[in-house]
Amino acid sequence: KSESPLIVSVGRIKKYKRLDVLIDAMRILKSKNTKVRLEIVGTGDALDQLKTLVSRYRIEDIVNFRGYVSETEKAELLARAWCSINTSPKEGWGLTSMESQASGTLSIVPDSPGLRETVIHGETGFIYPWGNSEKLAEYIEHVLKKPDTAKTMGRNARRWAERFTWDSSAHRMSEIIETLIG
């Protein structure tokens, strides 16, 4: 993990993804003098709006927009992060949450379809009420204040994510098919 607290958000930068919730959580954390840095990875048409919000909140010193990064860079960032954050109101499946957990980093996700299923609350990450920047900030602060707990959750997250590899899924599907035709 990075020496100083680092959180990462990976995904398309679209208005409906509600990254403004995370930026507001960062405003809250800065108002408490919490030492943390956020790296937002991705591109999209809401980038200028979010940069304006970051400027309005005067948190440019703790929020960085990385833009597009390679898969290797993304994996390195996720592995160094103390936690990853997702703010989307819905997903088919929280792939970036699972990628984060596979790298041994706990994930904080909203209680929304396709994301709540990717995290075991309190074991592999946290699930916060969707759109609630105060609760999101509270969970981030918890991670930063209890790094040993965060490391344990990261190890749990890696084990949890291993259940969702292609090989593991194929094996389970094979067992189901054998039971059905059996």
Residues forming beta bridges with residue 75, ordered by sequence position: none
Mean pLDDT value across residues 27-49:
98
Q: Picking from 4-8, 63-67, 158-162, which range would have the lowest pLDDT averaged per residue?
A: 158-162
Q: Which residues, other chains included, contact 47 with Cβ-Cβ below 8 Å and sequence gap of 6+?
A: 13, 65
In order of their start, the domains of the chain are 6-181 (3.40.50.2000)
User: How far apart (Å, rounded) are the C-alpha atoms in residues 101 and 160?
Assistant: 8
User: How far apart (Å, rounded) are the C-alpha atoms in residues 120 and 141?
Assistant: 19
Smallest CA-to-CA distance from 20 within 98, 78, 85, 74 is with: 85
pLDDT (0 to 100) of residue 97: 94
38 phi and psi angles, rounded to 5 deg: -115, 130
Query: Can you point out the beta strands (E) in the chain?
Result: 6-10, 37-41, 63-67, 83-85, 107-110, 125-128
Mean pLDDT value across residues 58-63:
98
pLDDT (0 to 100) of residue 1: 86
pLDDT (0 to 100) of residue 42: 98
pLDDT (0 to 100) of residue 169: 60
pLDDT (0 to 100) of residue 113: 93
Mean pLDDT value across residues 12-29:
98
| Nearest 10 degrees: Cα torsion 36, 37, 42, 43 | 120
**Percent of the chain having pLDDT more than 90?**
86
Mean pLDDT value across residues 130-159:
97
User: How far apart (Å, rounded) are the C-alpha atoms in residues 155 and 151?
Assistant: 6
Mean pLDDT value across residues 131-137:
98
Are the beta carbons of 127 and 109 closer than 8 angstroms? yes
